[in-house]
């Protein structure tokens, strides 16, 4: 067998550890997971995903799953359900702990950046998050895991979006994952370039608990907050191959990342594992997990959200009302057929989206011309 190729993974978060967990399938590579200097403290988060092929292991570690979910606006409610593609909530610490254990069992090394010598033979995969471009749309949120004194949650239905809240500052909704009648994660979320003060999100959660759930007395078990880019990020500015969020895995129109990170890694591992055992391994082929058509549709959709935030609730309600639970889950998970994509396109208000498509085309041509000057 030829010499193993060094593979250095910068970052020990979801993407880095998820790849390291597949070390048993990558015998031609000598993997090292590197904790970057100055990396922020790891904080607990809950990741959401729909059950699709390839996520069986993650589903087993999920904290809770729902076969029914809803979208609510002042104009109405859409309720979807699916037994095959249920919605899961996964605790970050549980998944990363599982991946770290598997990686260590299969000989993956872990080291601090300062203790790793430069190796010209090594492929370096960079999973460190990069800064969003100025004025890009971002999904800002604060979430409270609430323990209610008197109940008030419906544990059978996850609420993906509830727009019955203050819309005066932009696209704003509540995201509710009820783990029981008494315990739920309640997030106040905004799609906007600029972040509102924490007090805005906190007041929205408290108001929602009182007005929509009838909960006035509760305790906080956990608080999480974050910012997820909506839109395409530029290629890694330091020239390294990106992976995970730094490798284009985040779905531009929704901010969903976990399922796409797993898809990206599974495809890279599948390609690399096909090499003959006596052949020198090439660089691990890490590519975007998204189809070009889905990225183009997301570009147009995000342009509409940016220019017409007032119609955002109605757009999501249209989708939820017209699609089955299976269709909704597959579309959001990047598993849509051409027929399903066409169905979603036909649901949208025509002239608003035609104008957005033309604006995106104009922007593309302008950027292309600028690059070739």
Tell me if residue 314 falls in helix, strand or coil. Answer: helix
Residues 249 and 213 occupy one common structural domain: no
The tens digit of pLDDT for each residue in 320-362 reads 999 999 999 999 999 999 999 999 999 999 999 999 999 999 8
Distance CA 207, CA 144 (A): 13
Using the CB atoms, write b or e for 293-307: b if 16+ within 10 Å.
ebbebbbbbbbbbbe
Give φ, ψ of 280 to 5 degrees. Answer: -65, 125
Number of independent structural domains in the chain: 3
- Give the per-residue pLDDT at 242: 92
What was the pLDDT predicted at 157?
Answer: 97
Domain range for 335? 292-371
Spatial neighbors of 183 by CB under 8 A, at least 6 apart, are 145, 146, 147, 148, 153, 221
- Angle at which helix 292-307 crosses helix 350-371, to 10 degrees, equals 110
Assess whether 330 and 353 both reside in one domain: yes
Helical (H) or strand (E) element with 339? helix 338-347
Residue 38, C-beta contacts closer than 8 angstroms, at least 6 positions apart: none
Are residues 206 and 186 part of one domain? yes
Contact (Cβ atoms closer than 8 angstroms) between residue 179 and residue 148? no
Residues 9 and 99 in one domain: yes
* Closest residue by Cα to residue 36 from 91, 110, 106: 110
In this structure, are 31 and 177 located in the same domain?
no
Q: Residue 58 falls within a domain, yes or no?
A: yes
Could you tell me the pTM of the whole model?
Answer: 0.93
Residue 194: closest CA among 234, 250, 135: 135
Can you spell out the DSSP letters for 265-300?
Answer: HHHHHHHHTTS-TTSPP-------SS-HHHHHHHHH
For residue 102, what is the domain's CATH number? 3.50.50.60
**Domain shared by 324 and 352, yes or no:** yes
Residue 204 lies inside a defined structural domain of this protein: yes
pLDDT in the model for residue 373: 57
| pLDDT value, residue 3 | 75
The reply to whether 219 falls in a domain is yes
| 240/231 Cα distance (integer angstroms) | 21
Residue 220 token pair? 């906080």
Shared-domain flag, residues 314 and 351: yes
Claim to verify: residue 152 and residue 202 sit in the same structural domain: yes
User: Do 109 and 211 lie in a common domain?
Assistant: no
Residues 116 and 14 in one domain: yes
Spatial separation of the C-alpha atoms in residues 56 and 37, rounded to whole Å: 33
Q: Examine the domain organization and report whether 50 and 155 are in the same domain.
A: no
Residues whose CB falls within 8 Å of the CB of residue 118, separated by 6 or more in sequence, listed in order: none
Q: Is residue 187 part of a domain?
A: yes
* CATH code at position 168: 3.30.9.10
Integer CA distances (angstroms), 75 to 160, 162, 254, 309, 345, in order: 16, 11, 22, 16, 21
pLDDT, tens digit (0-9, with 9 covering 90-100), for 217-273: 999 999 999 999 998 887 776 778 899 999 999 999 999 999 999 999 999 999 887
pLDDT below 50 — which residues of the chain?
none
């Amino acid at each position: 067998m030829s010499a193993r190729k060094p593979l250095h993974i910068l970052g020990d978060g979801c993407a880095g550890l998820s790849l390291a967990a597949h070390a048993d399938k990558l015998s031609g590579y000598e993997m090292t997971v590197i904790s970057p200097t100055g990396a922020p403290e790891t904080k607990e988060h809950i990741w959401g995903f729909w059950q699709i092929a390839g996520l069986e292991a993650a589903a087993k570690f999920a904290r809770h799953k729902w076969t029914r979910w809803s979208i609510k606006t002042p104009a109405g409610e859409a309720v979807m359900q699916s037994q095959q593609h249920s919605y899961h909530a996964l605790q970050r610490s549980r998944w990363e702990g599982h991946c770290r254990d598997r990686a260590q069992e299969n000989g993956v090394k872990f080291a601090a950046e300062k203790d790793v010598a430069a190796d010209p033979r090594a492929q370096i995969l960079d999973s460190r998050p990069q800064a969003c471009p100025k004025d890009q749309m971002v999904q800002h949120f604060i979430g409270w895991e609430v323990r209610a004194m008197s109940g008030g949650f419906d544990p059978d239905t996850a609420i993906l979006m509830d727009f019955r809240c203050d819309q005066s500052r932009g696209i704003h909704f509540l995201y509710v994952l009820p783990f029981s009648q008494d315990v739920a994660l309640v997030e106040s979320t905004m799609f906007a370039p600029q972040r509102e003060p924490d007090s805005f999100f906190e007041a929205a959660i408290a108001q929602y608990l009182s007005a929509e759930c009838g909960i006035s007395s509760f305790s906080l078990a956990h608080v999480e907050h974050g910012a997820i880019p909506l839109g395409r990020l530029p290629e890694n500015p330091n020239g390294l191959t990106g992976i995970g969020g730094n490798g284009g895995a985040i779905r531009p129109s929704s901010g969903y990342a976990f399922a796409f990170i797993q898809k990206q890694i599974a495809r890279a591992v599948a390609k690399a594992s096909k090499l003959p055992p006596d052949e020198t391994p090439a660089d691990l082929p890490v590519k975007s997990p998204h189809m070009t058509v889905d990225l183009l549709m997301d570009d147009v959709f995000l342009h509409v959200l940016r220019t017409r935030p007032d119609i955002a609730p109605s757009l999501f309600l249209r989708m939820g009302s017209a699609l089955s639970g299976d269709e909704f889950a597959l579309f959001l998970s990047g598993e849509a057929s051409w027929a399903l994509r066409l169905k979603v396109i036909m649901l949208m208000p025509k002239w608003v989206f035609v104008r957005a498509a033309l604006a995106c085309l104009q922007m593309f041509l302008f950027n292309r011309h600028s690059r070739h000057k």
